[in-house]
């Protein structure tokens, strides 16, 4: 196979997601295998790490054996050796950074959310299409092994007609005062693009619509459970965005489901993320890696409960493991391979920028529902969400 180089600028390279997932688990392994097979060629990523802190950039570059890094984003964008721009930096700066990359003629691939608002996302997509540029959005969660197993069950009809679902996510994030916080302070400030809904609901959109069905309406509520926090320097501040949210979702087939997400809950469930789908022939409950199924035949005939004593029923006993996956690849690597093939050959890409805008549209509909205290419709993609 002939080897071809494709240049990629990774903006926000020192951040946890970029350095661990996009670099360590995706692009570096591709490079270690002498490139990605695309037709008769091996496509070898040439990486340029970009960020603001030279010392940290140098450290990340050394760790991963990357030769090139820069704090000069303008110079990076002006370099014709790099055809792709990837952004995993600050959410509140994403739209302007992606606009600069598009103006420089770069194909764009973006972490979520792809823009703070649908309107800004549409403007970016229009600009990319006008210049004939490829565009993609990171939608990694659907490739988690537990959710892949669940998706296989819903797609092959093993659960029958879908009647409902329940998605639960979260853990306790310390306030930085009593104990150090596990999340950066920008997550809790509106000015820096914080808030649980904008951060996590874009994921829930594509997970639900891929596995369960198209969303048609939402009704949401959100609150701030931990209003006082301390930042990385120990300075106290008031959190002005939500850290907990709940949403009712109506699907196109008439079924309903619920989403409960919180950074202020202590975990006593199967996993940090669980999605249960109930169907006429059975139910399945997936976590990040595992998936359990209960068929109609395995379902216990619950007829009543006792107010006087515990009946001692083992409600977990009637569940079995879902069929194992034939193989598993890192979700971020799957995304990169699909995007690189799309850029190189025009191969179809499910997670394009339009999909990323629909992710934002879901979060936006939930925010609007909270403001108006009513159900909000989420139109099909062809009706203006992209």
Please give the torsion angle defined by the CA atoms of residues 330, 335, 340 and 342, in that order, rounded to the nearest 10 degrees: 140
Q: What CATH number should be reported for the domain holding residue 126?
A: 3.40.50.720
Residues 238 and 131 in one domain: no
C-alpha distances (whole Å) from 337 to each of 119, 293, 294, 334 are 29, 31, 35, 5
Q: What CATH number should be reported for the domain holding residue 265?
A: 3.30.360.10
**Is 240 in contact with 189 (CB distance < 8 Å)?**
yes
Residues 318 and 169 in one domain: yes
Residues 232 and 101 in one domain: no
| Structural domain harbouring 102 | 2-140+331-348
Residues 62 and 182 in one domain: no
Q: What is the pLDDT along the chain (386 residues), one digit of tens a residue?
A: 789 999 999 999 999 999 999 999 999 999 999 999 999 899 999 999 999 999 999 999 999 999 999 999 999 999 999 999 999 998 999 999 999 999 999 999 999 999 999 999 999 999 999 999 999 999 999 999 999 999 999 999 999 999 999 999 999 999 999 999 999 999 999 999 999 999 999 999 999 999 999 999 999 999 999 999 999 999 999 999 999 999 999 999 999 999 999 999 999 999 999 999 999 999 999 999 999 999 999 998 888 888 999 988 888 889 999 999 998 999 999 999 999 999 999 999 999 999 999 999 999 999 999 999 999 999 998 755 55
**Is 294 in contact with 283 (CB distance < 8 Å)?**
yes
Residues 51 and 96 in one domain: yes
- For the chain, how many structural domains are there in total? 2
Residues 224 and 342 in one domain: no
pTM of the predicted model as reported, rounded to 2 decimal places: 0.95
Is residue 136 a part of any domain in this protein? yes
Residues 84 and 123 in one domain: yes
Is residue 27 a part of any domain in this protein? yes
Is residue 356 a part of any domain in this protein? no
Could you give the CA distance from residue 313 to residue 300 in angstroms, rounded to a whole number? 9
Residue 223 has φ and ψ, to the nearest 5°, of -155, 165
């Amino acid at each position: 196979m002939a080897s071809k180089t494709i240049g990629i600028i990774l903006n926000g390279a020192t951040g946890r997601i970029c350095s661990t997932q996009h670099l360590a688990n995706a692009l570096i392994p591709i490079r270690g295998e002498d490139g990605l097979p695309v037709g008769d060629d091996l496509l070898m990523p040439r990486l340029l790490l970009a960020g603001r802190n030279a010392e940290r950039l140098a450290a990340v570059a050394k760790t991963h054996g990357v030769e090139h890094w820069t704090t000069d984003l303008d110079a990076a964008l002006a370099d014709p050796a790099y055809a792709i721009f990837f952004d995993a930096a600050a959410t509140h700066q994403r739209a302007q950074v992606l606009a600069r990359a598009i103006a420089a003629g770069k194909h764009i691939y973006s972490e979520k959310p792809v823009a703070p608002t649908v309107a800004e996302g549409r403007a970016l997509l229009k600009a990319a299409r006008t210049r004939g540029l490829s565009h993609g959005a990171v939608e990694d969660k659907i490739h988690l092994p537990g959710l892949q197993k669940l998706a296989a069950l819903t797609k092959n009809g093993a659960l029958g007609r879908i009647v409902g679902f329940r998605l639960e996510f979260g853990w306790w994030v310390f306030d930085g005062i009593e104990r150090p916080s596990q999340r950066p302070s920008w997550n809790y400030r509106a000015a820096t693009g914080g808030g649980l809904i904008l951060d996590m609901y874009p994921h829930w959109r594509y997970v639900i619509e891929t596995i369960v069905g198209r969303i048609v309406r939402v009704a949401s509520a959100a609150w701030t459970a931990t209003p006082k926090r301390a930042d990385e320097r120990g300075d106290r501040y008031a959190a002005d965005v939500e850290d907990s949210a709940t949403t009712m979702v109506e699907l196109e087939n008439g079924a309903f489901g619920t989403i409960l997400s919180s950074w202020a809950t202590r975990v006593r469930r199967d996993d940090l993320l669980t999605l249960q789908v109930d169907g006429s022939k059975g139910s399945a409950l997936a976590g990040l890696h595992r998936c359990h199924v209960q068929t109609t035949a395995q379902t216990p005939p619950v007829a009543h409960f006792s107010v006087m004593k515990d009946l001692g029923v083992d409600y977990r006993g009637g569940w079995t493991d879902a069929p194992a996956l034939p193989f598993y690849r890192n979700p971020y690597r799957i995304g990169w391979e699909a995007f690189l093939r799309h850029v190189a050959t025009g191969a179809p890409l499910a997670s394009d920028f339009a999909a990323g805008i629909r992710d934002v549209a879901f979060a936006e509909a939930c925010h609007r529902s909270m403001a108006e205290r009513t159900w909000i419709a989420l139109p099909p993609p062809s009706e203006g969400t992209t």
